Amino acid sequence: MGILDFLSGQFIDVIHWTDDTRDTMVWRFEREGHEIKYGAKLTVREGQAAVFVHEGQIADVFTPGLYMLETNNMPIMTSLQHWDHGFRSPFKSEVYFVNTTRFNGLKWGTKNPIICRDPEFGPVRLRAYGTYSVRVSDPAKFLIEIVGTDGEFTSGEISFQIRNIIVQEFSRLIASSGIPVLDMAANTQELGQLLSKGISATIAEYGLTLPELYIENISLPDAVERALDKRTSMGVVGDLDAYTRFQAAEALGAEGSAAGQAMGTGFGAGMGMAMGGAMSGGPWGARPQQTAAASPPPPPPPVEHVWHVAVSGETQGPFSKARMGRMVTEGQLTRDSYVWTQGQDGWKRAEEVTELAQLFTVLPPPPPGV
């Protein structure tokens, strides 16, 4: 740098900042040796604030406007007035420009699921995410608490800390709200307002405010959502029997349509010939009026009884009816023998049971002349 450029720089000092980024929150005006001369012009634009730091301490905060730095609390000695210091001023000052506009589109979300008690499903795990905007409300406090001596501070350097604060407050809020999971979608706006209010005091300690905070989604684990989808599907179907019959009718209709297409393309030629023969009474089938009605199926065969016989106070059997017939022939069973079968009301004489009475033949009368 030539001597003329150096001298020109000592007589003229214009301090201003135009931001060409979208995430810079604080920018320090760089000056050779951090020297701010008496009478320098400070331009603060809308959406900005300027923090004047003199000898390591915050001297003043300037809002939008044009200022001439020539008050008694500003540095009044320039390098040209101190030849004995080798063109170096002993008074060091700095100007930090603070962006006071909103930084939008910042994201937050739960890294791990939040366990809470739902009145309908019991213990559930929830995840949530959303967006928020942040704005510097107190430039001096923000510079002291967060920025320090950083020459260029971006929103990414503070977003992680704000995200942790939001998630912590959201976990406390959602666990104590008592709102059912199925109703949370209808209450995201109210939950967002409560969440913003709950963290406002903590954020204010950093010199920040959150003008907007949105809860975009509150979701369940994938397995629970699949089960919930099945439950919803069952509710939509309603009567399962009617739905099953409807599906069967749809399947039959689809098969009929496919068969019709097959007939139209030649694959159903044999089926068409059979149908034509049936309609004309040809060799392929009988006329409709000659078709006999389908006979009903035969009834089930009768249940064969088995019998117990009382002999000398003891029960013998069970015996089938055929065996009882042989016993009659052998003389082991008489009309006066007591018998019993399942479903019979007590013991009865054999001749009193219709099914057994036919086993006893009637003896013919004695022949004549005897």
Q: What is d(CA 131, CA 108) in angstroms, rounded to the nearest whole number? A: 6
Residue 334 structure tokens: 């008489």
The answer to pTM > 0.75 is no
Give the residues across from 67 on adjacent strands: 42
Confidence at residue 344, expressed as pLDDT on a 0 to 100 scale: 81
Domains contained in the chain, CATH given = 3-99 (no CATH), 103-225 (3.30.479.30), 307-357 (3.30.1490)
Q: What is d(CA 252, CA 199) in angstroms, rounded to the nearest whole number? A: 62
Per DSSP bridges, beta strands 48-54 and 93-99 are antiparallel
Q: What is d(CA 200, CA 190) in angstroms, rounded to the nearest whole number? A: 15
Closest CA to 103 of 150, 145, 153, 60: 153
CB 39 within 8 A of CB 63: no
CB 184 within 8 A of CB 191: yes
The sign of the torsion formed by the CA atoms of 251, 256, 261, 263 equals positive
Closest CA to 94 of 110, 81, 75, 112: 75
Confidence at residue 162, expressed as pLDDT on a 0 to 100 scale: 94
CB 132 within 8 A of CB 210: yes
Across 258-319, the runs of DSSP E, i.e. the strands, are: 307-311, 314-319
* Alpha helices in 73-187, H assignment, sequence order: 139-142, 156-177
Cis peptide bond prior to 318, omega within 30° of 0: yes
- Residues with Cβ within 8 Å of 208's Cβ and at least 6 positions away in sequence, in order, are 134, 135, 136, 137, 138, 142, 158, 162
Confidence at residue 293, expressed as pLDDT on a 0 to 100 scale: 54
Burial of 298 (0-12, 13-18, 19+ CB in 10 A): exposed
Confidence at residue 265, expressed as pLDDT on a 0 to 100 scale: 52
Residue 101 structure tokens: 């506009």
Q: Which residue has the tokens 């019993």?
A: 340
| Whole-Å CA distances, 274 to 105, 119, 283, 286 | 73, 65, 9, 11
Altogether, the residues listed in the chain come to a count of 370
Confidence at residue 97, expressed as pLDDT on a 0 to 100 scale: 96
Count CB-CB contacts under 10 A for residue 210: 22
Q: What is d(CA 156, CA 159) in angstroms, rounded to the nearest whole number? A: 5
Percent of the chain with pLDDT strictly greater than 70 = 71
User: What's the DSSP call for residue 151?
Assistant: S
* Alpha helices in 13-129, H assignment, sequence order: none
Confidence at residue 4, expressed as pLDDT on a 0 to 100 scale: 45
Residues of the chain falling short of pLDDT 50: 1, 3-4, 6-12, 72-90, 263, 267-269, 271, 274-275, 278, 282-286, 288, 290-292
Confidence at residue 267, expressed as pLDDT on a 0 to 100 scale: 44
